[in-house]
Structure 1
Amino acid sequence: MSYTHLIREHYPQLTKSEKKVADFILSAQEKIIYSTMSDIKKHTNVGDATIIRFCQKLGFSGFSDLKIAIAKEDFSHQATSDTAVNFADLVSKRLADAILATKQLINIDHINQAVDYINQAHQIYIFGVGSSGNTAVDLESLFLRAGIQAKAITDPHFQAQVASLLTEDDLVIAFSLSGKTKDTFDSIAIAKKNHAKIISITNYLLSPIAQQGDVVLQTAIEEFLNGGSLAGKISQLYLCDVLVNGYERKNNIDTLALKETVLRSILDKSLD
């Protein structure tokens, strides 16, 4: 049974406050999986206990369990509609759509502000965990080829230690598609307390990690049930490339000379 049918079936037995939660979820539909209990409380003026009781009356252990069920239902609908499409075409379209969707969210003023922070920074660190940690390492490599020495840190404990030693002259670039990754948030909160500049790269402008940022670059891929998806990573990498190219253009970097220098440094690493 779908979650909408489940809600409507139990609706007569719900209290007045629980019906507010039901109405909000029905109006939000699949977007509810990207909401938090705080979001629901804000829109319905009910407490945590009401939300939990509502979920339990539907047969779920709590709000997270309900969101997973909604995400699974949405994923199943998408999978069913995709069966008639050539899977290779489907994958290529999904990745192309990720780039186009991210492009539409680009704010050039924010890119320029981020480039200014990079130019001014004494030290640059890139924070991310999980798949976003892999993107942090990729950005470190892209920076190196542009002549920027930055350090990607993907271990949360090490992030916290480094953040505790930063100053107002330093910069942290933080990756999190959801904007709610606790380890990353905790680390940049420490950096923020020490007055380091923060560039947040995330989907949601109102997310906790975005709110910590001095400037926010917005990705476009939601992946509640598909964490670490290639489309999500492509969205992040596209922004990384835009950021690096923005730095090169603003500083009139001779990219050809840099590429030659890097190439010559690794030529003897190839087998004949």
Structure 2
Amino acid sequence: MHLLHAWVNTSRNESTGFMQNAQNLISHLNAIVEDLSQNEQRIAHWILNDPSKVTTMTSQDLAQQCGVSQSSIIKFCKKIGLSGFPALKIALSADVARAQDAEQIHGDIFSDDPLSEVAQKMYNSKVAALSETLKGNTSAQLGAAVDRLVAADRIIILGVGGSALVAMDFGSKLTKLGTAVLQGMDAHIHLANLARFTENDLLVLISYSGKSKEVLAAAEYARQHNIPTIYLVGPSANITPESHELELHCVASENLVRSSSISTRTAQLAITDLLFILLAQRAEDMPSKIQDSQALVNRIK
């Protein structure tokens, strides 16, 4: 059964049309947002970004904020199984109150969620991150990134915190293709190595916020010395790439709590894995290179 139909069937009372407590509204909107029309997605995203504020608004207020008609708000409410805007505010109020009573573990997962609901919410958040990240990068951008990876004599992949794990994974994959990657988790060592880089090398910066001080320091140095740079950042990062720079995007919805940036890493890994596969397509004797790398590692097992 379609997620939207399942919600309507389980959440609407036949006599009143009001929602029952079969499933919380915020979790449901996260699950179905990709199935909605463009205007409906605009409404859903506005609600998800600030559910507390929506509980104090009129339908006309929300319509103005979303750039849609007031009737579109009412139709949206009915489509998701509610009798109207007042019912939506009641459902959101219940969700907001629940969030205050239960400990928020990650995203829209709370300490009192049953295992099945945790699994579904986690799955939904990862699928959403992958889908939005795919939409956020064009084939031209990805192709240009591969061109720069191929052309570089040496590569530094720098990330901080959770992004450092993604950087290490990407670097490890690239070495299997014979790429000269300077490995390590220490950002300070990367900065020291960057001081010896030239226009023939490449800097890859992985940071969802784009605001880590190590990332900013590396970006500033690379820009001053015309070192080609690829940024892999989130939508809120304020970057205006120059001619020798390229920006790729990862998109993850982890507002309120980002205890371990799970969806963010999913989005970042989706891009780095895709770049690796695209590089592998271009590499000569790719299977033999990977086999040689694995054979050498197997000698010490």
Q: What is the TM-score normalised by the length of structure 2?
A: 0.59
Equivalent in the alignment of 2:267:
235
Matches within 5 A, 1:183-194: 183-194=214-225
Q: What is the TM-score normalised by the length of structure 1?
A: 0.64
Instruction: Return the alpha-carbon distance in structure 1 between the equivalents of residues 110 and 296 of structure 2.
Output: 50
Instruction: Return the alpha-carbon distance in structure 1 between the equivalents of residues 214 and 109 of structure 2.
Output: 32
Equivalent in the alignment of 2:204:
173
Quickly say closer, same or farther: Cα 1:82–1:115, change in 2 above 3 A.
farther
Report the alpha carbon displacement of residue 180 of structure 1 after superposing the two structures with TM: 1.7
Q: Which runs of 5+ in 2 are unaligned?
A: 1-45, 52-98
For the Cα contact (< 8 Å) 1:156–1:187, is it kept in 2? Answer: no
Letter in 2 for 1:215: L
Report the alpha carbon displacement of residue 232 of structure 1 after superposing the two structures with TM: 1.0
Q: How many residues align?
A: 202
1:220 to 251, 272, 276: 251
Equivalent in the alignment of 1:207:
237
2:123 to 82, 92, 106: 92
Report the alpha carbon displacement of residue 252 of structure 1 after superposing the two structures with TM: 4.4
Q: Which runs of 5+ in 1 are unaligned?
A: 1-25, 32-71
Query: For each residue in 1:32-86, what CA deviation from the matched residue of structure 2 results, as whole angstroms up to 9, or x when unmatched?
Result: xxxxxxxxxxxxxxxxxxxxxxxxxxxxxxxxxxxxxxxx87x959346993653
Letter in 2 for 1:122: D
Letter in 2 for 1:207: A
Report the alpha carbon displacement of residue 114 of structure 1 after superposing the two structures with TM: 1.0
Q: Do structure 1's residue 140 and structure 2's residue 171 form an aligned pair?
A: yes
Instruction: Return the alpha-carbon distance in structure 1 between the equivalents of residues 160 and 144 of structure 2.
Output: 25
Letter in 1 for 2:134: K
SS in 1 for 2:108: helix
1:248 to 240, 260, 280: 280
RMSD: 3.0
SS in 2 for 1:122: coil
Equivalent in the alignment of 1:159:
190
Instruction: Return the alpha-carbon distance in structure 2 between the equivalents of residues 131 and 227 of structure 1.
Output: 11
- The structure whose residues are more often helix, as a share, is 1
Instruction: Return the alpha-carbon distance in structure 1 between the equivalents of residues 145 and 230 of structure 2.
Output: 7
Equivalent in the alignment of 1:131:
162
